[in-house]
Structure 1
Amino acid sequence: MTKTKKSDFRPNDFVVYPAHGVGKIMSIEEQEIAGLKLELFVISFEKDKMTLRVPTHKATEIGMRSLSTPDVVTRALETLKGKAKVKRAMWSRRAQEYEQKINSGDLMAIAEVVRDLHRTDDQREQSYSERQLYEAALERLTREVAAVSGVDEAGAAKKVDDVLVSRAA
């Protein structure tokens, strides 16, 4: 078992939690749970008005990571320019794969979902579940782009949108 050094994540760091996206470490606190003293990261997901407490020794194991590097963000945005790769599997199977990619916390995988589910105005209508997955992936991507680029979410959304629109042109 790999034990995370306490110095890996610090209060005020932005981190990516696989199932919830970008959050901010508010503090590190100790709590006694079932007679054991546990050290916990207190992570706030402002957008979802949610606070998560993650045992510090489990953080890496569950896939919590630092923000992507600007280089990875650039590659993720490049991915959006690619041609959508849509498998000929049944929608339920594809939807499952998309959801796994979104919840993996991997920015490149999330960008692939955005690319594959993006529709231009003249393309066929999206189903409700398709739209839900697309919006979830888009929001995750946008939030991380915002946090890494140091711009607000509106600025990041425009950045992502410009790439998607330029692809369609």
Structure 2
Amino acid sequence: MAKGKKIGDFRLNEFVVYPAHGVGQILSVETTEIAGTEMELFVISFAKDKMTLRVPTAKATAVGMRNLASAELVEKAMKTLKGRARVKRAMWSRRAQEYEQKINSGDLISIAEVVRDLHRNDEEREQSYSERQLYEAALERLTREVAAVDGTEEGEASEKVTGILISRAA
């Protein structure tokens, strides 16, 4: 397959977002026989996680795979981070479930909301283990996509996001 060839909404070698795993890169498209049926699959690499995922090309959009966010959407996500944390008074288990759903939705704004709501400054109360895990998962997804959209390293994107979170508290 030629570099940059378009299949549906996606191109070879471009970065995409898979809801349950975050940012990955389409390496190739392969045809495989599964249960007697020929199937065309995207081969997506998540280098940071040392994982390869195969997604049927016909089902890619249906499972929530999408192109990287636009620069405008990233800017909107950064504005979301600047807002006040909205923490509901529901039990932690219910809130944790909602946060998990937002992270796995793949929606950049929802992920930014989780980061904003779970961010703690050093002088604030301690986070529980599960709260910290959700925060770090959301932060990683957000910074990976910001880095891919901006064409920068993850460290730079992390500094950008953290800078906004810290300035919000000041």
Q: Which residue of structure 2 lines up, in the alignment, with residue 29 of structure 1?
A: 30
Q: Distance in 2 between matches of 1:96 and 1:145?
A: 24
SS at match of 2:11: coil
Work out whether residues 8 and 57 of structure 2, in 8 Å CA contact, stay in contact via their aligned partners in 1: no
Deviations 1:35-62 (A, max 9, x none): 1100000000011000000000000000
The answer to whether 1:143 aligns with 2:144 is yes
Work out whether residues 16 and 68 of structure 2, in 8 Å CA contact, stay in contact via their aligned partners in 1: yes
For normalisation by structure 1, the TM-score amounts to: 0.96
Q: Distance in 2 between matches of 1:130 and 1:46?
A: 26
Work out whether residues 69 and 149 of structure 2, in 8 Å CA contact, stay in contact via their aligned partners in 1: yes
Q: How does 1:37-48 map to 2 (within 5 A)?
A: 37-48=38-49
| AA matched with 2:61 | T
SS at match of 1:68: coil
| AA matched with 2:120 | R
* Superposition deviation, residue 7 in structure 1: 3.8
Q: How does 1:122-133 map to 2 (within 5 A)?
A: 122-133=123-134
Q: How does 1:110-129 map to 2 (within 5 A)?
A: 110-129=111-130
Q: Which residue of structure 2 lines up, in the alignment, with residue 68 of structure 1?
A: 69
Q: Runs (4+) of structure 1 moved beyond 4 Å?
A: none
Q: Which residue of structure 2 lines up, in the alignment, with residue 59 of structure 1?
A: 60
Gaps of 5+ in 1: none
Work out whether residues 39 and 56 of structure 2, in 8 Å CA contact, stay in contact via their aligned partners in 1: yes
Gaps of 5+ in 2: 1-5
Q: Distance in 1 between matches of 2:8 and 2:22?
A: 21
SS at match of 1:38: strand
Q: Which residue of structure 1 lines up, in the alignment, with residue 3 of structure 2?
A: none
For normalisation by structure 2, the TM-score amounts to: 0.96
Q: Percent of counterpart pairs with the same letter?
A: 73
Q: Which residue of structure 2 lines up, in the alignment, with residue 152 of structure 1?
A: 153
| AA matched with 1:156 | A
* Superposition deviation, residue 6 in structure 1: 2.2
* Superposition deviation, residue 11 in structure 1: 1.2
Q: Distance in 1 between matches of 2:8 and 2:65?
A: 14
* Superposition deviation, residue 153 in structure 1: 0.3
